[in-house]
Amino acid sequence: MKRLMSKNVPYLITGSSWWKKPLYYNPVVHPLNKGPDFSFWMVVSQQLLQQWSWKGGKNMLNIIIFKRVFCHLKWAMSSSGSSSQAGVEEKIILVLNPLNNETEEVVLSDDNTLDFSTLDHAFPGAYGLKFTHPISHRQQYVKFNKDKEVFLAPNSGWKGKTFNLVFYSNILNNSISDRHERREYLYKQIEKTPFSDEPDHLPSIEYMKTFLFHIKEENFNSWVTCVDPHFFATYLHHTHRKYKRGNSITVYSYDGTTVYDTVVCFIDEELDLILLNSSTKIMDVFPICEDYTRKGSRLKMIGKSSEDNTPCCVYGYLYKEEIIREPEEYGPFMVGKMDNISVEYGTAVFDMHGLYGVYIAMPETFGCYREQNHANSKHFEGLILPVKELEIYMTKYLYKKGRNQSFLLIRLKLCSPQSISATVTPNSDIALIPNTFASLK
């Protein structure tokens, strides 16, 4: 076979330089007079067709894959759009405004919390949120982080709930619906209220004395607290164990100028509680919290200085609620001491609303509190019986209804006025825990 390099020999040009080659001539099969031999082109054309068909199939496969990926991306984008739309809906909570009985929307932050500034601007005078627990059907407060000044989402989330606002009592009592008027009224009233001279608007010591009374013992005066216009409450242990139901006891006002004749109407050793019924009305105005103070709230009571035995203020905060289940764990209780300040039995406990309860005792004295990590602590834990729960026993006495009742046991963590700013910190240690009850026979 000869390779002709003459200019007369045709070339195969396919658009690619690789295919630009001289053609081969076979003189045996195709003499010169018959022209050049192009029989090889059939083989080459088949190879080209196979290559083109493979490339075309590959291109078609790429197109199919691209379409599938595009459809998937389109579906993913639509799903993320719908989920983001749902996220926007979850960022809004429903709040019932008691001033006009309308349900209003409040926008949450991106981190699923509610800024206090948002609540304050929307509802001036409101300082908290509460909702009805779906299981216990009791009012539960929304946790508040004082460091970040935000309300934290409930364990069950914001969705599916209508939240009630918690206002200062003077706002609701005057039925001020206009937000600007409400804010202006709030600022003016805070300056006039007896709570304005202490942090967090806690009551003044003069205001607290109006609820604190005493019984004259042999060597000292024991405290009793007015828990109702017709009832006093005090402890049962120590010198008060001599009292029996039906005994007559004389109760004196804080300054000793007013005398009240009372009768022991209720005694409960498990609660370490005595209720005294006064024959005359003790007072006309009697503010009591409508709801339980939330965990972490500041509390205040009257104590006595160990140096000169003069009355002084003792600060604390509500830090734990506990279920009482076993009979041997019911009390009685004692009073705690801390540093140079003494908190005495039966003293009144106040929160920002007014009288909250009666300070009964320190739990570890009678073995009903078994934790040991408080041994070297400067703070003392005590037990409070809320006035709201004592109403059960007062009603039972007045209306002679014998039925099983329940009470809420609450612990108070006491701290000195000097260390209050350093010790009362809003962390998980003082987070809100749902109210729990134990039946009493």
Residue 202 has pLDDT above 60, yes or no: yes
In the prediction, which pLDDT does 427 show? 29
Do 223 and 296 belong together in one domain?
yes
Residue 287 has pLDDT above 50, yes or no: yes
Among 414, 403, 397, 396, which residue's Cα sits nearest to residue 299?
414
Do 154 and 251 belong together in one domain?
no
Residues 323-342: tens digit of each pLDDT: 333 334 333 232 334 444 56
How far is Cα 413 from Cα 383, in angstroms, rounded to an integer? 9
How far is Cα 29 from Cα 33, in angstroms, rounded to an integer? 11
How far is Cα 342 from Cα 306, in angstroms, rounded to an integer? 7
Give this prediction's pTM.
0.45
Residue showing tokens 């825990």: 433
Residue 307 has pLDDT above 50, yes or no: yes
In the prediction, which pLDDT does 235 show? 80
The mean of the pLDDT values for the chain is 63
Is residue 359 within 8 A of residue 346, CB to CB? The reply is yes
52: in domain: no
109: in domain: yes
In the prediction, which pLDDT does 259 show? 92
How far is Cα 119 from Cα 126, in angstroms, rounded to an integer? 7
**Which of 414 and 124 is assigned the larger pLDDT?**
124
Among the ranges 57-61, 69-73, 298-302, which has the highest mean pLDDT value?
Answer: 298-302
103: in domain: yes
Do 154 and 212 belong together in one domain?
no
Pick from 49-63, 94-108, 173-187, 390-404: least confident: 173-187
In the prediction, which pLDDT does 250 show? 92
Residue 223 has pLDDT above 80, yes or no: yes
299: in domain: yes
Do 264 and 397 belong together in one domain?
yes
72: in domain: no
117: in domain: yes
Do 337 and 252 belong together in one domain?
yes
Interacting residues of 6 by C-beta distance below 8 A, sequence separation 6+: none
276: in domain: yes
How far is Cα 25 from Cα 27, in angstroms, rounded to an integer? 6
Which amino acid is located at 358 in the chain?
V
Portion of the chain with pLDDT greater than 90, in percent: 2
Angle at 170 between CA 164 and CA 171, to 5 degrees: 50
Q: Please report the sign of the dihedral spanned by the C-alpha atoms of residue 34, residue 35, residue 36, residue 42.
A: negative
Residue 318 has pLDDT above 50, yes or no: yes
Do 231 and 372 belong together in one domain?
yes
Output the six-digit token pair for 385: 């019986």
Residue 384 domain boundaries:
199-440
Do 210 and 341 belong together in one domain?
yes
Segment (H or E) for 162: strand 162-167
Do 218 and 124 belong together in one domain?
no
Full 3-state SS string of 353-421: CEEEEEEEECHHHHCCCCCCCCCCCCCEEEEEEEHHHHHHHHHHHHHCCCCCEEECEEEEEEECCCCHH
205 C-beta neighbours (distance < 10 Å), count:
16
Residue 242 has pLDDT above 70, yes or no: yes
Is residue 196 within 8 A of residue 206, CB to CB? The reply is no
In the prediction, which pLDDT does 252 show? 92
CATH code for the domain of 408: 2.40.10.120
Do 203 and 240 belong together in one domain?
yes
In the prediction, which pLDDT does 430 show? 27
How far is Cα 153 from Cα 240, in angstroms, rounded to an integer? 46
Side-chain-side CA neighbours of 172 within 13 Å: the count stands at 12
Among 350, 116, 85, 342, which residue's Cα sits nearest to residue 211?
350
Among 129, 219, 200, which residue's Cα sits nearest to residue 167?
129
Pick from 195-209, 273-287, 334-348: least confident: 334-348
Do 110 and 228 belong together in one domain?
no
Residues 374-430: tens digit of each pLDDT: 333 344 566 777 777 776 677 666 655 343 333 334 434 443 333 333 233 232 222
Which of 164, 192, 220 is at the close of a domain? 192
Number of domains in the chain: 3
Do 431 and 338 belong together in one domain?
yes
Which amino acid is located at 320 in the chain?
K
Do 16 and 96 belong together in one domain?
no
Q: Tell me the Cα Rg of the chain.
A: 42
In the prediction, which pLDDT does 394 show? 72
169: in domain: yes
Is residue 125 within 8 A of residue 182, CB to CB? The reply is yes
340-352 burial: b if 16+ Cβ within 10 Å, else e: ebbbbbbbbbbbb
